[in-house]
Amino acid sequence: MSIKIKPLLLGVNIDHVATLRQVRRSVYPSVSQAAMEVLKGGADYITIHLREDRRHIQDFDLVDLLKKGFDVNLEICPSEEMVDIAVNNKPKFCCLVPEKREELTTEGGLDLINNYNQVESAVASLSNAGISVSLFIEPRKEFINAAKSLKATYVELHTGNYANATNDSQSIELLKIKEAADYGRRNQLIVNAGHGLDYANVLSIARLISLSELNIGHAIVSRAVTVGLQTAVAEMKTLVER
């Protein structure tokens, strides 16, 4: 008897549409219009990261997207302020990520061991509000065990080390992700992955059958500058489904 494998979903992070807008403190490009174009291109949902420093996505973007009926995966750090914003707005999904003011982008996964109590409080508050919670973690068993203990529904494996590696080092990082994804699935977690994935490196990740979803942003928005968002998303969706 053959095993039916569910299609791999694609979430598209549109933070950098807001980055372009914020450079001039303008009203364009429109984040909600970008969201519509992304879905037309074949994405399964929209991901945005509302940072404490508000360097790209703003509070009104979240409100506007939800008001217009978009399924939003909201990335936030597990601070009291950001959790309160999520609870008050109730996106469908919320992914807790680490955050540092000086970083260019998220540099790694949450340390669930040393920040257990803070994350536990955030997960409880979000879950009580009816929000499905994901934890962005390094592909390591101890973090998957902690995520299970914290009663998260999802984990998202950090693929940045894989994306930045080359040759044999990349194969080693890919194996870590595969083993972590398999382990998470055996422990009844829904396992997603993302960070640094692009049109060249996504295929090996997309072949991992224990993964449910990929979150990709910068590469798609960058490609969209020359071919448009619909086409850029459609090209990535084709690679993910291949």
CA distances in angstroms from 118 to 3, 79, 126, listed in the order given: 39, 8, 12
CA–CA dist 234, 17 (Å, integer): 17
Examine the residue annotation and report whether 49 is marked as an active-site residue of this protein.
Answer: yes
Beta strands in 31-160 (DSSP E): 45-49, 72-76, 93-96, 132-137, 154-158
Annotated catalytic residue, options 37, 99, 195, 213: 195
For the chain, strand residue ranges (E) read 9-13, 45-49, 72-76, 93-96, 132-137, 154-158, 190-194, 211-216
Which member of 16, 37, 56, 75 is catalytic? 75
In angstroms, the CA 163 to CA 24 distance is 31
Helix/strand/coil for 28: coil
Known catalytic residue at 158: no
**Contact yes or no for 64/32 (Cβ under 8 A):** yes
Specify whether 56 is catalytic. Answer: no
Residues 177 and 139 sit within 8 Å (Cβ to Cβ): yes
Q: What are the respective helix, strand and coil percentages of the chain, to the nearest 5?
A: 45, 15, 35
From the candidates 49, 99, 156, 213, give the one annotated as an active-site residue: 49
> What span, in angstroms and rounded, lies between the C-alpha atoms of 126 and 108?
22
Q: Which residues are catalytic?
A: 49, 75, 195
